[in-house]
Amino acid sequence: MNMFCYQCQEASKGTGCTLVGVCGKTPEVSSLQDLLIYQLKGISQFSTRLRALNIEMPEVNKFVTDSLFMTITNANFDYDRFVNKIIEGFELRDKAKSLLIENGGEVPVSACDCLTWKTTDAKEMEAKAATVGVLSTENEDIRSLRELVIYGLKGIAAYGEHSFNLGYIDNEVDAFMQRALAATTDDSLTGDELTALVLETGKMGVQVMAMLDKANTTAYGNPEITTVSLGVKNNPGILISGHDLKDMEELLKQTEGTGVDVYTHSEMLPANYYPAFKKYKHFVGNYGGAWWSQVTDFETFNGVVLFTTNCIVPPRKSATYVDRVYTTGASGYPAFKHIDDREGGNPKDFSAMIAHAKTFAAPTEIETGEIVGGFAHAQVFALADKVVDAVKSGAIRKFFVMAGCDGRMKDRSYYTEFAEKLPTDTVILTAGCAKYRYNKLPLGDIGGIPRVLDAGQCNDSYSLVVIALKLAEIFKLNDVNELPIAYNIAWYEQKAVIVLLALLSLGVKNIHLGPTLPAFLSPNVAKVLVDNFGIAPIGSVDEDMKLFLN
Ligand code: SF4
Ligand code: SF3
């Protein structure tokens, strides 16, 4: 075994990647990611004790958030970035320890040498990682619960980082993340206590998604119904992918008047729905499909590509686009150029990338037409009367929340077929890149309400929750599960894990999860989720359709 990782839906053989990641993560990078997580558990023990003395270390909060985000599936493949991050972490941990001692705090006593172990040698880091990774927790149920918490925290970190970039910070979320990381080293915690921590993680997921919603809508306005072009224009282009709207804002400002057009890819599509971005004439639409289609989309795009977050697919040997791809923020890939973080309140500098973009031809058109989106909570509330009337009259029989992630596996054609076979009196509520399985299908509308309502990115699943709670209020229901809403969620990486935990913490029951259940759920932990929340794997389209509609 060279490595062990089972954090995403594509875990090898449905159990875990042991030789090399199906995602392309090397055993070396996997080791460094394991060590970084281990280190966070040590730093968090000190910062949690400091917090009890009313001492907050903002640099620790930022470090923990960045580090968790960097380890999300397909976010960062850059060995050197991880080595440097780990060295930075040792310094931060020792600083936190000194601060604790100076302030009369008690230094934690733990069997975990994450409190003391250090090196600056990359090979020593790799060797150490082999003893502190996921499998170092022997009991499979405790391991399953600990990892469920950590994967939820990774999702929280991603959304927390986007909020931070827009000036929104919630110290309660930081405190929770660090307390929870520290708790994953506490051997005295029982399965029940860890299960409670899992649900608390979900609650914090709701809190961080609400913060990000506020940050995005305050900065850029409420998403509104928007028709997004899928074709191309004649100028050279920059294709921006990922989830970070601050990067989007700065890119649009810096490309204005340069003769370079901006297109969105994958999870950046919802940027088209924000009033503050729609005003830019050179922001011309969306190009291509979900993240995994980048291997062909980037070839035909011809121009420069910017990754603001996950999901990066390591380019094939034959790829011709490698030298025109840039990363920024938590994302990274050794062969791509990286754009540095903001410093001193100044925007990122995209000038070299924009100059590079000007040297390329316009994108090759791969499709034409338009799609409609922008159905986040404020826009749906504006249509509330129409929606409520359609439900009361029976014109809408049922809503299907089909949020989450897309992925490469062939089995995911289930979601396309499911959307196609849904009766015409049903509406899909979506968010995240899962939508690419059906958002270009001609599914029509119900009295002017499109049958696919796209709220936005995966974090905008929060909008779907707000809509559900509002409908429950309008229909005077005490329980959100009494609404005519079914949940058929697709997952891939750890942001979908926090979306799922957030839904559970809000009491949503009977969620169907696919295309497969997470490898990190042990049989006993899976049973707890089935017994208490009615979580179920997807079946065949026809069986599931029958089940959902009865
Ligand atoms: Fe395997 Fe997924 Fe981990 Fe990549 S992130 S190594 S595909 S389990
Ligand atoms: Fe997609 Fe990677 Fe998860 Fe934000 S871009 S949803 S998979």
d(CA 94, CA 110): 16
Report residues whose beta carbon is within 6 angstroms of any ligand 1 atom. 5-8, 10-11, 17, 21-23, 25, 73
pLDDT at 201: 98
**pLDDT surpassing 90 at residue 527:** yes
Number of the ligand 1 atom closest to the C-alpha atom of 21: 6
Number of the ligand 2 atom closest to the C-alpha atom of 493: 3
Establish whether domains 12-218 and 226-357 are of one fold: no
Among 405, 457, 464, say which to mutate for ligand 2: greatest number of ligand atoms within 8 Å of CB. Answer: 405
Q: Given phi > 0 = left and psi -120 to 50 = alpha, else beta, which region is 60? A: alpha
Question: Letter for the amino acid at 136?
Answer: S
Specify the CATH number for 226-357; select among 3.10.105.10, 3.30.9.10, 3.40.50.2030, 3.40.50.2300. Answer: 3.40.50.2030
pLDDT at 112: 87
- Confidence grade of residue 550 (pLDDT, cut at 50, 70, 90): confident
pLDDT at 110: 81
- Find out whether 209 and 464 touch, Cβ atoms under 8 Å: no
- Find out whether 464 and 401 touch, Cβ atoms under 8 Å: yes
Helix orientation angle between 79-102 and 58-70, rounded to the nearest 10 degrees? 150
Cβ partners under 8 Å of residue 343, min gap 6: none
| Dist. CA 133 → ligand 1 center (Å) | 14
CATH-assigned architecture of domain 375-549: 3-Layer(aba) Sandwich (3.40)
pLDDT per position as a tens digit, 314-370: 999 999 999 999 999 999 999 999 999 999 999 999 999 999 999 999 999 999 999
Among 3, 4, 25, say which to mutate for ligand 1: greatest number of ligand atoms within 8 Å of CB. Answer: 25
pLDDT at 277: 98
Cβ partners under 8 Å of residue 286, min gap 6: 228, 229, 230, 263, 264, 265, 269, 272, 371
pLDDT per position as a tens digit, 406-430: 999 999 999 999 999 999 999 999 9
Q: What is the mean pLDDT of the chain?
A: 97
pLDDT per position as a tens digit, 488-504: 999 999 999 999 999 99
Number of the ligand 2 atom closest to the C-alpha atom of 495: 3
Backbone φ and ψ of 189, nearest 5°: -75, 135
Helix orientation angle between 191-220 and 494-505, rounded to the nearest 10 degrees? 100
In Å, how far are 387, 400, 421 from 426, measured between CA atoms? 12, 7, 10
- How is the chain split into domains, by residue range? 12-218, 226-357, 375-549
Any idea which ligand is nearest the CA of 403?
2
Any idea which ligand is nearest the CA of 268?
2
pLDDT at 521: 98
Assigned token pair, 335: 């062969």
Q: By alpha-carbon position, which residue is closest to atom 5 of ligand 1?
A: 73
**pLDDT surpassing 90 at residue 109:** no
Number of the ligand 1 atom closest to the C-alpha atom of 9: 2
Residue with tokens 């958030």: 65
CA-based radius of gyration for the chain: 23
Number of the ligand 2 atom closest to the C-alpha atom of 311: 2
Among 9, 10, 71, 310, say which to mutate for ligand 1: greatest number of ligand atoms within 8 Å of CB. Answer: 10
| Dist. CA 523 → ligand 1 center (Å) | 20
Q: What angle do CA 535, 484, 494 make, to 5 degrees?
A: 35
User: How would you class 90 by CB atoms within 10 Å of its CB: exposed for 0-12, middle for 13-18, buried for 19 or more?
Assistant: middle
- Find out whether 519 and 15 touch, Cβ atoms under 8 Å: yes
Assigned token pair, 234: 């004649």
Does the CA dihedral 245-442-497-515 come out positive or negative? negative
d(CA 533, CA 506): 11
Specify the CATH number for 12-218; select among 1.20.120.80, 3.40.50.9100, 3.40.50.300, 1.20.1270.20. Answer: 1.20.1270.20
Among 8, 402, 458, say which to mutate for ligand 2: greatest number of ligand atoms within 8 Å of CB. Answer: 458
Report residues whose beta carbon is within 6 angstroms of any ligand 2 atom. 243, 266-267, 291, 310-311, 405, 432-433, 457-458, 492-493, 495-496
Any idea which ligand is nearest the CA of 13?
1
- Confidence grade of residue 111 (pLDDT, cut at 50, 70, 90): confident
- Find out whether 523 and 191 touch, Cβ atoms under 8 Å: no
d(CA 169, CA 28): 33
Assigned token pair, 411: 């089995």
3-state secondary structure of 535: coil
- Find out whether 73 and 125 touch, Cβ atoms under 8 Å: no
Any idea which ligand is nearest the CA of 10?
1
Q: By alpha-carbon position, which residue is closest to atom 7 of ligand 2?
A: 405
pLDDT per position as a tens digit, 430-483: 999 999 999 999 999 999 999 999 999 999 999 999 999 999 999 999 999 999
| Dist. CA 476 → ligand 2 center (Å) | 34
**pLDDT surpassing 90 at residue 230:** yes
Assigned token pair, 455: 């709220």
| Dist. CA 100 → ligand 2 center (Å) | 39
Number of the ligand 1 atom closest to the C-alpha atom of 3: 6
| Dist. CA 346 → ligand 1 center (Å) | 35
pLDDT per position as a tens digit, 132-191: 999 999 999 999 999 999 999 999 999 999 999 999 999 999 999 999 999 999 999 999
pTM for this one? Answer: 0.98
pLDDT at 484: 96
pLDDT at 27: 98
Among 4, 22, 70, 135, say which to mutate for ligand 1: greatest number of ligand atoms within 8 Å of CB. Answer: 22
Number of the ligand 2 atom closest to the C-alpha atom of 267: 5
In Å, how far are 400, 447, 448, 451 from 386, measured between CA atoms? 18, 9, 9, 14
Question: Letter for the amino acid at 129?
Answer: A
pLDDT per position as a tens digit, 86-108: 999 999 999 999 999 999 999 99
- Confidence grade of residue 280 (pLDDT, cut at 50, 70, 90): very high
Q: By alpha-carbon position, which residue is closest to atom 3 of ligand 2?
A: 405
Question: Letter for the amino acid at 374?
Answer: G
What's the length of the chain?
A: 550
Among 1, 2, 6, say which to mutate for ligand 1: greatest number of ligand atoms within 8 Å of CB. Answer: 6
Cβ partners under 8 Å of residue 173, min gap 6: 156, 160, 204, 207, 208, 211
Backbone φ and ψ of 124, nearest 5°: -65, -35
What b/e readout covers 471-507, taking b as 16+ CB neighbours within 10 angstroms? Answer: bbeeeeeeebeebebbbbbbbbbbbbbbbbbbbbbee
Number of the ligand 1 atom closest to the C-alpha atom of 11: 8
Any idea which ligand is nearest the CA of 5?
1
Number of the ligand 2 atom closest to the C-alpha atom of 241: 5
**HSE of 214, CA atoms in CB hemisphere, 13 A:** 12
- Confidence grade of residue 209 (pLDDT, cut at 50, 70, 90): very high
